[in-house]
Structure 1
């Protein structure tokens, strides 16, 4: 029998509370270069990390770690690693697509006052983890949930966040002294912003547009490509 003393009421939020949750979801943006130089107070950063730490995790193993990078010298080293990978990425596109890619301003690493590397320790919890017995990627998915928690909390705090994915993991591991067994899941740039795009930047700049939800919902079984 469950310990009923450990249970809490599951009443719905008030209308204003519910609206605030949806506002954070719908106005969250990936910030690339709009960061202000204003420092991010430690108490705000700790609230964001605590929100991340309260994400669901498979087997409750909490596989994440958060490497907080504030040093401008360290961020410059990381930016150089990013810059090399970004040139490689640009070469993968051609024509107008390449020009659009190169026009995107990706300066968050140097402009944001705080960078965070989010990692996943895939050995945490031992060889057999509840909920990961048949899907070995569940610890990675759990860590992504932590990043989403942080992102939504940042939006509620008026803090912008950008997720940088254009790296060679080996470069980041060398710079940040990350052991080989540790998986890098996300590199995040955080800082205050005074403006956000009303729609995702890549939609505004014509890279892609949001798919229609109706095209992505299948009833009962797979119904072909949307």
Structure 2
């Protein structure tokens, strides 16, 4: 069987999808379309994983008390992050809206199951962290699929991982990878929000390539 053939028009649209994938920080509060989250997770499960381990584990956080615990976790971690900034950066950091925890209709925590027997340990002997990398690939796959549906994703990384695990009561051995806010974005920007705010700027692709 021959593989699919993708047209130049499709490749251009794919490039646009990559370019317009944003870390969304401001969401509308209206709910996601019925069945969309399940569809996004099904697409995420097409991501590559070390040894075909599929170690990603998704927790949809809907209970108000658990969301409040995550919000408190963020506030504590964010206060520590603010205090750790250089004095010249503190004002700029304080102006950033670093979470969509209040408005995003969907909260999704992503973990990697380090103890999974699936995959029989293939590819993990020298790099056990490949389990976590596989979960990250699932997040990125979900992120692109959401963007294709006009849905935004925000990755909340300013959290204490152990506290997230306790708040959500997940099994031991699950590594916390990311907390995603998912919903309709309030605004659309091709340029990253942090670049628009002057926090930093993108570097050209050639600056990351080293040849030997």
TM-score by length of 2: 0.94
Mapped partners of 2:2, 2:35: distance in 1: 29
Once residues 61 and 163 of structure 2 are traced to their aligned partners in structure 1, the CA distance between those partners, rounded to angstroms, is 15
Provide the rounded CA distance (Å) in 1 between the counterparts of 2:31 and 2:75.
Answer: 24
Determine the C-alpha separation between the residues in 2 that align with 1:106 and 1:73.
21
Q: Which residue of 1 aligns with 2:58?
A: 66
Larger Rg: 1
- Number of residue-to-residue matches in the alignment: 212
User: Which residues in structure 2 correspond to 1:122-201 (within 5 Å)?
Assistant: 122-125=114-117, 129-201=121-193
How far off is 1:41 after superposition? Answer: 2.3
Query: Residue 20 of structure 2 contacts residue 190 of structure 2 at CA under 8 Å; is this kept in 1?
Result: yes
Aligned counterparts, 1:206-221, within 5 A: 206-219=198-211, 221=212
Aligned mates of 2:67, 2:11 — CA distance in 1: 37
User: Map of 1:33-72 to 2, 5 A cutoff?
Assistant: 34-72=26-64
Alpha carbons of structure 1 residues 133 and 107: separation in structure 2 relative to 1, 3 Å: closer
Note if contact 1:57-1:63 (Cα within 8 Å) is conserved in structure 2: yes
Alpha-carbon distance, 1:179 to partner: 2.7
| Cα 1:26/1:126, change in 2 over 3 Å | closer
Structure 2 distance, partners of 1:102, 1:83, is 12
Kindly indicate whether the alpha-carbon contact (under 8 Å) linking 1:35 and 1:108 is maintained by their aligned counterparts in 2.
yes
Does the aligned pair in 1 maintain the 2:19–2:190 contact within 8 Å? no
Runs of at least 5 residues in structure 2 that lack an aligned partner in the other structure: none
The correspondence for 2:113, drawn from 121, 126, 148, is 121
User: TM-score w.r.t. structure 1 length?
Assistant: 0.88
Distance 1:12 1:127 in 2: 30
Give the CA deviation at 1:16.
Answer: 2.7
Shift of 1:126: 6.5
Q: For structure 1, which runs of at least 5 residues remain unmatched after alignment?
A: 1-7, 222-226
Per-residue CA deviation, residues 128-172 of structure 1 (Å, 9 max, x unaligned), is 511222211111111100000000001001111000111111211
Q: For 2:155 and 2:21, locate their aligned partners in 1 and report how far apart those are by CA, in whole Å.
A: 12
Q: Which residue, out of 8, 31, 54, partners 1:15?
A: 8
- Asked whether the 8 Å contact 1:118–1:185 carries over to 2, the reply is yes
Matches of 1:77 and 1:54, distance apart in 2:
31
For the 8 Å contact 1:24–1:155, the answer to whether it is kept is: yes
CA distance in 2, matches of 1:178, 1:204: 37
SS in 2 for 1:206: coil
Q: Distance in 2 between matches of 1:152 and 1:64?
A: 17
Q: CA 1:80 to 1:98, structure 2 compared with 1: closer, same or farther past 3 Å?
A: same
| Aligned CA-pair RMSD | 1.6
Displacement over 4 Å in runs of 4+: none
Q: Which moved more, 1:15-24 or 1:59-68?
A: 15-24
